[in-house]
Amino acid sequence: MDKAAIERAKEHFGKILENQMNRMERVKSAPDWIDYGKIKPLKIGLLGGDGIGPIIAKDAKRVLYFLLKDEIKNGKVIIHDIEGLTIENRAACNKPIPDDVLAEIKKYHVTLKGPTTTPRKGDPWPNIESCNVAVRKELDLFANVRPVRIPKQGIDWIFFRENTEDLYALGPYGIEVDEDIAIDFRLISAPGADRICRLAFEHAKKNGRARVTCVTKANVVKTTDGRFLENFYRIAKDYPNIQVDDWYIDIMTAKLVDEKRRRDFQVMVLPNLYGDILTDEAAEFQGGVGTAGSANIGKQYAMFEAIHGSAPRMVQEGRAQFADPASMIRAAAMLLSHIGFPEKGKSLEMALDICGQYEKKLAITGRSTGATGTAFTDYLMETLQDPKLKGRWEAYVKA
Ligand code: IPM
Ligand code: MG
């Protein structure tokens, strides 16, 4: 037995614990929720990303400028591009976010970000940490909020995925103990579980949702998932009017496909990796990951993005202009609601539903057989400007 390897691993683990205990102190002493209503000017930063990112970002930007034109004119809102968050720059400095870009991001209250490439072992890029994950950690964006709605099937789900812990917290800090054993670490903290569960319950309470469901694998992963679940039920006691239950991730994945049961789920709260997987599955029912937006919410900052990756293959094959911008535009809708313009956010969502799910005058296929993202966005903006937008949407939803 290689005793030295064991000692090295122990030391490594000791450092991890020190860092995480420090993080706990920061989480516990963090300032409370920012009040966007009191801020002038409210600063929105736009990050293009990699691959199809800059292309779909351009369309999302058009929509955002259009919906905020009055607020921009009267100085309530400022929108700016933030340059430099490219995989080339990240590879050059061997960091998930270049320092100057991170400093710039922190000058904005909220950001809308295009997908960024996440390198993995064997890629031409150095195997640096995912930039998404790094931004979430740096800005303490602890909640990944992902709605999936399919009105014609009665599906109206919202996922509260914990966004800073679980396998992601220490993803780059595993130990190659020796040539046989590799170990990663999974971390769930009580403050981390509390804040995501509370946000899910608050959402349910404010939006009149009757039920909140927790998803874990606490029967097997007893310590960390056990902690998450225990905290879920403890927070639930503060919301006696909300029905609660919990499911294991395996059966939950199956139940989302069960047409008899799936519409019963409403608000779901779950640790990071289960949330990552389950939300891709859920988005697929809505029309694919290209149709789903995602909000990364923290108490001081928030970042909004598509739930999918940068699709380098589409760029290589010359199909980038056929990428669906709906995911990023949905993220823009979530951004608008989050910073205090819920009517604008709602209108944008209605227009997206009409154009993408019901009327479908233009279909996006990701290839030249379908519309370009820009043509789709023109169609969307036209729909958005229709004074009868709400009536049109309601007629479709009721039909
Ligand atoms: C997501 C993505 C990211 C994640 C990747 C790109 C690191 O899949 O936002 O769901 O795993 O969180
Ligand atoms: Mg994912």
Of all protein residues, whose CA lies closest to atom 1 belonging to ligand 1?
A: 307
Identify the nearest ligand to the CA of 133 by its number. 1
Nearest to 217 by CA among 278, 295, 148, 146: 278
276 Cα nearest atom in ligand 1: 10
> Which residues are registered as beta bridge partners of 269?
160, 214
Instruction: Taking residues 36-40, report their average pLDDT.
Output: 94
Check whether 50 has a pLDDT greater than 90: yes
Render pLDDT for 68-94 as a digit per residue (tens, 0 to 9).
999 999 999 999 999 999 999 999 999
Q: Residue 13 has which token pair?
A: 């683990």
Query: How many CA atoms lie within 13 Å of 83's alpha carbon, on the beta-carbon side?
Result: 0
Query: What are the tens digits of pLDDT across the range 54-63?
Result: 999 999 999 9
Nearest CA to ligand 1 atom 12: 276
Q: For residue 222, what pLDDT is reported?
A: 98
Mean residue pLDDT of the chain comes to 95
Asked if 289 and 262 touch (Cβ cutoff 8 Å), the reply is no
CB atoms under 10 Å from CB of 222, counted, come to: 11
What is the domain partition of the chain in residue ranges? Answer: 31-141+298-398
Q: Tell how far CA 201 is from the center of its chain.
A: 18
Whether ligand 1 lies within 6 angstroms of the CB of 272 is answered as no
- CA dihedral of residues 265, 267, 271, 275 (deg, nearest 10): 70
SS3 for 150?
strand
Q: Report the alpha-carbon distance of residue 169 to residue 27 in Å, rounded.
A: 14
Residues 6+ apart with CB under 8 A from 158: 145, 146, 147, 148, 203, 209, 266, 267, 268
Give the nearest ligand 1 atom to 305 CA.
9
Test site for ligand 1: of 50, 85, 118, most ligand atoms within 8 A of the Cβ: 118
Instruction: Say how many Å lie between the CA of residue 116 and the centre of ligand 1.
Output: 10
State whether the beta carbon of 158 lies less than 6 angstroms from ligand 1. no
State the pLDDT at residue 288.
84
User: Quick check: CB of 307 below 6 Å from ligand 1?
Assistant: yes
User: Which ligand 1 atom is the nearest neighbour of the CA of 118?
Assistant: 6
pLDDT confidence tier of residue 1, bands split at 50, 70 and 90: confident
Query: Which residues have C-beta within 8 Å of that of residue 116, sequence separation ≥ 6?
Result: 49, 50, 53, 85, 87, 130, 131, 132, 310
Q: Which two tokens stand for residue 21?
A: 């205990």
* pLDDT confidence tier of residue 137, bands split at 50, 70 and 90: very high
Of 12-16, 127-131, 222-226, 238-242, give the lowest mean pLDDT range: 127-131
CB 327 less than 6 A from any atom of ligand 1: no
Distance CA 170, CA 172 (A): 6
Neighbours of 159 (CB within 10 A): 24
Q: Is any atom of ligand 1 closer than 6 Å to the C-beta of 85?
A: no
Residue nearest to atom 4 of ligand 1 (CA): 276
Indicate the top mutation candidate among 87, 90, 113, 132 to test ligand 1's pocket, ranked by most ligand atoms within 8 A of CB.
132
- Whether residue 276 has its Cβ less than 6 Å from ligand 1: yes
For the CA of 116, the closest atom of ligand 1 is: 6
Helix (H, G, I), strand (E, B) or coil at 43: strand
Instruction: Among the bound ligands, name the one nearest to the CA of residue 136.
Output: 1
251 Cβ contact list (under 8 Å, min separation 6): none
* Beta strand residue intervals within the chain, DSSP E: 42-47, 77-81, 110-113, 143-150, 155-162, 175-176, 182-183, 211-216, 243-248, 267-270, 293-297, 302-306
Contact between 394 and 349 (Cβ < 8 Å)? no
Cβ of residue 128 lying under 6 Å from some atom of ligand 1: no
- pLDDT in the model for residue 99: 97
Tell me: the pLDDT tens digits for 282-315? 999 988 887 888 999 999 999 999 888 999 999 9
Q: Mean of the pLDDT values across residues 349-371?
A: 93
Which residue lies with its CA nearest to atom 11 of ligand 1? 276
The amino acid sitting at 87 is I
Q: Which atom of ligand 1 is nearest to the CA of 280?
A: 10
Please report which confidence band the pLDDT of residue 169 belongs to, taking 50, 70 and 90 as the band edges: very high
Over residues 98-113, the pLDDT tens digits come to: 999 999 999 999 999 9
CATH 1.10.287.1060 for domain 31-141+298-398, yes or no, is no
Q: Give the ligand with the smallest distance to the CA of 294.
A: 1
**Residue for token pair 């609601």:** 337
Distance 275 CA to ligand 2 centre (A): 8
Neighbours of 76 (CB within 10 A): 15
What local confidence, expressed as pLDDT, does residue 236 receive?
98
- Work out the pLDDT band at 123, boundaries 50, 70, 90: confident
- Is 246 touching ligand 1 by the criterion CB < 6 Å? no
Check if 130 has its Cβ closer than 6 Å to any atom of ligand 1.
Answer: yes
Residue 294 CA, closest ligand 1 atom number:
9
